């Protein structure tokens, strides 16, 4: 299994503080059956902007230590990139890591809303041959208020990533229910832990999958894990047609 969203590099963002903490997270990931981890430290964030070269250096250092300790995980480079109007320029200047050197980009929206220029930036990225994957939309206030907003972005060509902790209930019942509804509406396409540490932002990769199993979402599990693999293999995703959200009005039941 592949974790396509993680903060496992020490002292670059709000993830681990030490290399040993990073290694402890990766050791836990291996125990949960994860074989590959894409490191997605924050970039272009108001508080954090992990340098391109530093990301590569720390991934190389961690991989050597993983090999020495015989922890069976392969690391891949990436960034979780905050949406800005200068995003394409940053990519063209070589300051952004795409996911595992693929044509997929992990795109973070502000937690409070969906900016007016989001569709414009999706189109600009697609013109560059890059497909944006929207990180944790279930934790975006704008999506929570009107989930059809995410549907519109998906129909514009974006994809989306659901977080293990959200499905596991780590962020509360309302986020958990919204996450399940987004899965059932075919509005999410990849699955990541968004792990930061072992306490306040733990891995919960297995726990999120168990929740989907409990809800009998077996096809969704298969699709999410398959698409994670496709990122590393630089291939196209399995996609299901998103449902028309507004007529169902399922969000009114939250």
**Backbone φ and ψ of 224, nearest 5°:** -60, -45
**Backbone φ and ψ of 159, nearest 5°:** -120, 180
Residue 242: pLDDT band (50, 70, 90) is confident
Q: Take residue 247 and report the two structure tokens written for it.
A: 């007529």
Tens digits of residue pLDDT in 161-182: 999 999 999 999 999 999 999 9
Q: Take residue 167 and report the two structure tokens written for it.
A: 């499905």
| pLDDT of 25 strictly over 80 | yes
Question: From CA 126, how far away is CA 129, in angstroms rounded?
Answer: 5
The percentage of the chain sitting over the pLDDT mark of 90, rounded to a whole number, equals 90
Residue 248: pLDDT band (50, 70, 90) is very low
The predicted structure's pLDDT at residue 239: 82
Tell which CATH classification among 3.20.20.140, 3.30.360.10, 3.40.50.280, 3.30.70.2740 matches the domain 2-253: 3.20.20.140
Residue 238: pLDDT band (50, 70, 90) is confident
The predicted structure's pLDDT at residue 198: 87
pTM (predicted TM-score): 0.92
**Backbone φ and ψ of 239, nearest 5°:** -125, 135
The predicted structure's pLDDT at residue 244: 52
Alpha helices in the chain (DSSP H): 19-31, 52-69, 87-92, 118-127, 141-145, 148-155, 164-168, 173-184, 205-214, 218-233, 245-248
The predicted structure's pLDDT at residue 104: 98
Cα torsion 129, 191, 196, 251: sign: positive
Average pLDDT over residues 144-158: 94
Q: How far apart, in Å, are the Cα atoms of 157 and each of 67, 125, 191, 219, 253?
A: 38, 10, 18, 22, 28
Domain extent listing, the chain: 2-253
Average pLDDT over residues 63-86: 97
Residue 146: pLDDT band (50, 70, 90) is very high
| Average pLDDT of the chain to the nearest whole number | 93
Residue 252: pLDDT band (50, 70, 90) is very low
Q: How far apart, in Å, are the Cα atoms of 125 and each of 61, 79, 109?
A: 31, 15, 15
Span of 64-73, 136-145, 219-228, 234-243 with lowest mean pLDDT: 234-243
Average pLDDT over residues 43-65: 96
The predicted structure's pLDDT at residue 247: 39
Average pLDDT over residues 31-37: 97
Contact yes or no for 213/126 (Cβ under 8 A): no
């Amino acid at each position: 299994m592949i974790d396509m969203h993680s903060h496992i590099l020490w002292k670059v963002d709000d993830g681990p503080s030490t290399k040993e903490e990073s290694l402890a997270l990766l050791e836990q990931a291996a125990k949960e059956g994860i074989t590959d981890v894409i490191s997605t430290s924050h970039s272009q964030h108001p508080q954090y902007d992990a340098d391109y070269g530093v990301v590569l250096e720390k991934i190389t250092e961690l991989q050597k230590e993983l090999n020495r300790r015989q922890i069976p995980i392969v690391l891949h480079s990436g960034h979780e990139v905050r949406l800005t109007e200068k995003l394409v320029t940053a990519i063209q200047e070589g300051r952004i890591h795409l996911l595992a050197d693929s044509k997929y980009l992990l795109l973070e929206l502000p937690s409070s809303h969906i900016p007016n220029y989001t569709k414009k930036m999706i189109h600009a990225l697609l013109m560059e041959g890059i497909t944006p994957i929207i990180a944790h939309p279930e934790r975006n206030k704008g999506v929570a208020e009107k989930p059809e907003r995410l549907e519109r972005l998906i129909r514009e060509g974006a994809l989306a990533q659901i977080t293990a902790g959200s499905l596991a209930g780590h962020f509360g019942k309302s986020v958990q229910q919204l996450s399940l509804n987004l899965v059932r509406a075919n509005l999410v396409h990849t699955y990541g832990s968004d792990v930061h540490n072992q306490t306040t932002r733990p891995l919960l990769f297995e726990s999120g999958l168990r929740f989907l199993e409990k809800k009998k979402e077996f096809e969704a599990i298969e699709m999410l894990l398959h698409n994670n693999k496709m990122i590393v293999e630089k291939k196209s995703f399995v996609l299901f047609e998103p449902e028309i959200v507004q007529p169902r009005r399922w969000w009114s039941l939250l």
